Homo-oligomer: A and B are copies of this chain.
Amino acid sequence: MRTKTKSGAPALPLNQIVSGDCIEVMRSLPEASVDLIFADPPYNLQLKGELHRPDNSRVDGVDDAWDSFDSFSTYDRFTNEWLAAARRILKPDGAIWVIGSYHNIFRVGAALQNQGFWILNDVVWRKSNPMPNFRGKRLTNAHETLIWASKSDSSKYTFNYEALKALNEDVQMRSDWVLPICTGHERLKDEKGDKAHPTQKPQALLHRVLVGCTDPGDVVLDPFFGSGTTGAVAKMLGRDWIGIERDKGYIDVAEKRLSKVVAYDKGSLEVTRPKRAEPRVPFGQLVERGLLRPGEKLTSLNGRHVARVRADGTLVAERVTGKANPVGAVLNGSIHKVGATLEGAPSCNGWTYWCFRRDGKTVPIDALRQQIRSELR
């Protein structure tokens, strides 16, 4: 562990967790000494009451004291202070990553710009397994936002373009990253088996950030260290790290975690990537994209049934009048459901069952799905 620099300047507490308030601690560190800062500040969630799942189980929300601020202006003051302290210790060519949600990220982004940081990208972490919206009142909140910014617009920031491209099947890395949330064995638990930290980030996220924006031997600082994901990945990747954390309990968790982390041997980088399945295309997209018009008539493959497209991507069919349905009731639902009901079958692949007409020809709607899939590749 380094304790003194050659120049005699105050030393950096490398590969340690420093206990205390991150603003004070950062102010005590030497200026222009850190290559990268990764920050996961409080999101300032404003939860009102309790939330239950449809099965009546209670959602364990983030109601910790550290996430509570009495107003936007209190939160803004806090944000400006820690960002200013972070800016001071960054090297001129250094950079910062901050992660947040819509509750706080707009205020953080504006503060970054106001202080002279230069935004390089905003990155969307698309969660493959987010928590749904249980009451059906909003969209599933399925992503979080990261901001990547250099210290100034003239910084020669580190960007390992080729490494990220290699991580992405040799295609340029994009600003949207699909990654699962942190669960399973990676999620740290306490003695009772409960989660040790409410907002532990997945290592894969940090892996991508550190591979892309640091080199081995760089100094990475995390002012909101929490369960220590930044330190764990930095250690694995042979980067020096500094963690700052206020909560003794989290420090214990992180220290235990870091003691078990083994650095990769140099030159080895895991490259296992699952093969991608064909992307799912909702039928509604054909309507949204204008490939089929609401009101347009679809015919079944056998020609016996007709249905019309609606603006929300469902079909409406006039049911044939018969014993089971003397009034000819209207039938509405997905392409699969309507097809199955009309055929009296347990299931039906609507993509190959329903056809539309173009230029005098009858074509299964699956052709339109193929068209969309080819655009996605």
Residues of A within 8 A of B (CB): 48, 50, 52, 56, 58, 64-65, 68-69, 72, 101-103, 105-110, 112-114, 116, 119-124, 126, 128-130, 132-133, 136-143, 145, 147-148, 153, 159-176, 178-180, 186, 202-204, 207-208, 211, 236-237, 264-265, 267-272, 274, 280, 282-285, 287-290, 293-295, 308-314, 316, 332, 334, 343, 345-348, 375-376
Contacts and interface: CB of A to CB of B under 8 A. Distances in A.
Given A102-B122, A106-B108, A121-B139, A180 B375 contact: yes
A203 B311 CA distance: 13
A284 B105 CA distance: 28
A284 B166 CA distance: 7
B175 A161 contact: no
B65 A204 contact: no
B272 A332 contact: yes
18 contacts: A52-B347, A56-B347, A106-B113, A109-B110, A124-B143, A126-B176, A129-B375, A136-B161, A139-B164, A140-B175, A167-B285, A167-B313, A168-B313, A176-B176, A179-B289, A211-B311, A211-B312, A272-B314
A172 B132 contact: yes
A312 to B, nearest CB: 4
B168 A310 contact: no
Nearest to A329: B374
Q: Which 5 A-B pairs have the closest CB atoms?
A: A106-B109, A167-B284, A268-B294, A163-B312, A268-B295
A179 to B, nearest CB: 8
Given A105-B106, A163-B312, A175 B142 contact: yes
A180 to B, nearest CB: 6
Given A105-B106, A113-B106, A176-B126, A268 B120 contact: no
Given A160-B312, A167-B282, 9 more contacts: A102-B119, A106-B107, A121-B138, A124-B126, A126-B176, A167-B285, A179-B288, A236-B294, A267-B316
Contacts of A110: 106-107, 109-110
B169 A283 contact: yes
A161 B137 contact: yes
A171 B175 CA distance: 25
A129 B171 CA distance: 13
B346 A174 contact: no
B169 A207 contact: no
Given A139-B123, A267-B295, A376 B178 contact: yes
A124 B127 CA distance: 12
A121 B109 contact: no
A161 to B, nearest CB: 4
B52 A264 contact: no
A156 B64 CA distance: 17
B64 A153 contact: yes
B310 A269 contact: yes
Nearest to A332: B272
Contacts of A283: 169
Contact of A143 (B65, B164, B175): B175
Contacts of A316: 267-268
A305 to B, nearest CB: 15
Nearest to A75: B113
A130 B172 CA distance: 11
Contacts of A171: 282
